[in-house]
């Protein structure tokens, strides 16, 4: 199935480019101008994995319940559904989270928000992940690009 970017355990990738037959260097180029947007999670390393998988099951249940899918291109309707679900979850997190005192700044819905993704702030970790997935879906819809889902 190509070069697995996560060797240990179950993983999910959502991206605007394919992952099949790519190495880590291909997928995560040193070039900061890369137009590849991607989000990945490993079940053994990331507490967000089951949450994201459950949210994907709301939109693409038949695909999210499979293992061993690589670079499945999602339809416009599926991309739109993913954008909507993650937008909903972002809004929920924004309404319930405590404001971060430390951390770094990200842009969420055109506003700068300080996030703290250390272990003490799991809500902000979810916010960053959900925002990344939302931005991939938004870009794919806005620029008529494909969006790919891989689950292994």
Tell me: the pLDDT tens digits for 70-109? Answer: 899 999 999 999 999 999 999 999 999 888 888 889 999 9
Give the closest residue to 149 by CA, choosing from 75, 48, 85: 75
Domain contains 1: no
Q: Is this structure's pTM higher than 0.85?
A: no
Domain contains 5: no
pLDDT (0 to 100) of residue 23: 58
**Locus of tokens 């967000």:** 48
- State which residues form the domain around 40: 11-151
Residue 28, pLDDT > 60, answer no
Q: What is the band of 123 on the pLDDT scale with cuts at 50, 70, 90? A: confident
Distance of alpha carbon 12 from alpha carbon 149, whole angstroms:
7
Domain contains 80: yes
Q: How many domains does the chain have?
A: 1
Domain contains 21: yes
Q: What is the band of 43 on the pLDDT scale with cuts at 50, 70, 90? A: low
- Give me the percent of the chain exceeding a pLDDT of 70: 76
Domain contains 29: yes
pLDDT (0 to 100) of residue 31: 46
């Amino acid at each position: 199935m190509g070069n697995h970017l996560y060797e240990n355990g179950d993983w999910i990738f959502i991206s605007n480019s394919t992952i099949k037959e790519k190495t880590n260097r291909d997928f995560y180029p040193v070039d900061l101008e890369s137009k590849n947007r991607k989000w990945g999670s490993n079940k053994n390393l990331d507490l967000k994995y089951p949450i994201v998988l459950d949210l994907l099951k709301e939109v693409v249940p038949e695909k999210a319940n499979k293992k061993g899918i690589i670079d499945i291109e999602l339809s416009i309707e599926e991309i739109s559904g993913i954008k909507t679900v993650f937008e909903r979850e972002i809004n929920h997190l924004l309404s319930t989270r405590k404001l971060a005192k430390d951390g770094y700044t990200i842009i969420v819905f055109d506003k700068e928000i300080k996030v703290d993704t250390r272990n003490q702030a799991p809500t902000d970790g979810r916010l960053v992940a959900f925002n990344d997935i939302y931005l991939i879906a938004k870009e794919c819809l806005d620029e008529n690009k494909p969006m790919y889902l891989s689950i292994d």
